[in-house]
């Protein structure tokens, strides 16, 4: 247990609770290392049959990685600090994605960026009907990372890219349609579901018990609004950033697209297409790390985090300002650097 992370054993259940509610549980390096240590310890512990992730505080499960701290290091001329953070985070994501025991995510409120990197890779993913999922990296000059492209690779490309490139928050119906969650529950049922997860850890068939819990608790949902907006433009060329921004971005539901970092939009598109050709989450996470190191050193990252999270004026000055000015060749070189000739 640390000040920002509660690691608890309860019978056959291991519980990892993000405990930084004042920052909507934004992930620090201390939290990331603590999660990895707990999972690696429990992996070979026969008494632990199931692991539960949850987040303390009313505002949400996790608002993502602490990119303000990374920006500060980059601005101070220490980009290697960010490199170490991303390497540790993506290693943790890989441990979760390949874990040999069932993992349950019980999420609520805000689930963004690094929060999806934890919850999205779990085996059983409960969320509440009022939850909001987002990968907002295009708004801060970065790239959709934490292996999310491995998850989104199972969704239709136009839906996955509308979510990833717009950075818009998506509700529970969209999260399920995109493959980011499995079961939406009513907020007032969260404690009952938690009790059901605890009971499942002691059941003869853990996974069957969790599957039954999902069937019982699944709440009615409305339209997957973001996916529906993407479906209106399914016929576009979703391999061309300019076409996506000009035509899909004209839709009121996707109007944020033209406001995002042009460099990010190209990086998100190129990395998503490459990830769809990768069979292993490890390869996707390696790609994420290459792009994280590259993009965090470009002007848009420091500027985007400043505009959204530091000064909060929401008026980033992107460099370059247009897609035509993006060094697409360099991004493609970073994306392809891990391929064997």
81 found inside a domain: yes
Per the confidence metrics, is the pTM higher than 0.85?
Answer: yes
341 found inside a domain: no
Q: What is the mean pLDDT of residues 10-37?
A: 97
Express each pLDDT in 152-175 by its tens digit: 999 999 999 999 999 999 999 999
Q: Count of domains in the chain?
A: 1
On the question of a cis peptide bond just before residue 320, with omega within 30 degrees of 0, the verdict is yes
- Distance (Å, rounded) from C-alpha 265 to C-alpha 263? 5
The strand pair at 13-18 and 60-62 is best described as unpaired
Express each pLDDT in 304-321 by its tens digit: 999 999 999 999 999 999
For residue 75, report the phi and psi dihedrals to the nearest 5 degrees. -60, -30
- Distance (Å, rounded) from C-alpha 269 to C-alpha 195? 41
75 found inside a domain: yes
Report in angstroms the alpha-carbon separations of 276 from 166, 279, 284, 339: 19, 8, 9, 14
Q: What is the mean pLDDT of residues 282-286?
A: 98
Kindly report the CATH number assigned to the domain that includes residue 79. 3.90.226.10
Continuous H helices in 218-255 = 225-231, 241-247
- pLDDT of 339 higher than 80: no
Give the pLDDT score at 262: 98
Domain that residue 262 falls in: 5-336
Reported confidence tier of residue 122, pLDDT bands at 50, 70, 90 = very high
- Distance (Å, rounded) from C-alpha 225 to C-alpha 230? 9
- Distance (Å, rounded) from C-alpha 225 to C-alpha 171? 8
Residue that the structure tokens 């969320």 belong to: 127
């Amino acid at each position: 247990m640390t000040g920002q992370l509660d690691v608890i054993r309860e019978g056959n259940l291991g519980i990892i609770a993000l405990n930084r509610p004042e920052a909507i549980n934004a992930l620090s390096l201390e939290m990331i290392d603590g999660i990895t240590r707990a999972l690696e310890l429990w992996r070979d512990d026969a008494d632990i049959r199931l692991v539960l992730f949850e987040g303390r505080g009313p505002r949400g499960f996790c608002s993502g990685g602490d990119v303000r701290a990374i920006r500060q290091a980059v601005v101070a001329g220490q980009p290697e600090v960010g490199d170490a953070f991303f390497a540790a985070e993506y290693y943790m994501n890989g441990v979760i994605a390949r874990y040999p025991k069932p993992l349950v995510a019980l999420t609520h409120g805000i689930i963004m960026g690094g929060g999806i990197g934890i919850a999205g890779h779990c085996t059983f993913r409960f969320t509440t009907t009022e939850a909001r999922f987002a990968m907002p990296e295009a708004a801060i000059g970065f790239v959709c990372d934490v292996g999310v492209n491995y998850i989104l690779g199972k969704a239709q490309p136009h839906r996955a890219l509308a979510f990833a490139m717009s950075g818009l928050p998506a509700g529970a119906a969209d999260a399920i349609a995109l493959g980011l969650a499995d079961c939406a529950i009513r907020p007032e049922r969260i404690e009952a579901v938690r009790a059901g997860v605890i009971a499942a850890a002691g059941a003869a068939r853990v996974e069957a018990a969790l599957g039954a819990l999902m069937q019982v608790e699944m709440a009615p949902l409305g339209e997957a609004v973001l996916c529906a907006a993407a479906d209106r433009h399914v016929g576009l060329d979703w391999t061309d950033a300019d076409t996506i921004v000009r035509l899909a971005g004209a839709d009121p539901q996707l109007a944020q697209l033209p406001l995002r970092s042009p460099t990010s939009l190209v990086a998100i598109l190129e990395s998503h297409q490459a990830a769809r050709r990768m069979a292993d989450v490890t390869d996707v996470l390696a790609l994420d790390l290459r792009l994280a190191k590259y993009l965090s050193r470009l002007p848009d990252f420091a500027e985007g985090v400043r505009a959204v999270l530091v000064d909060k004026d929401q008026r980033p000055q992107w460099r370059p300002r247009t897609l035509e000015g993006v060094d697409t060749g360099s991004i493609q070189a970073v994306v392809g650097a891990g391929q064997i000739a």
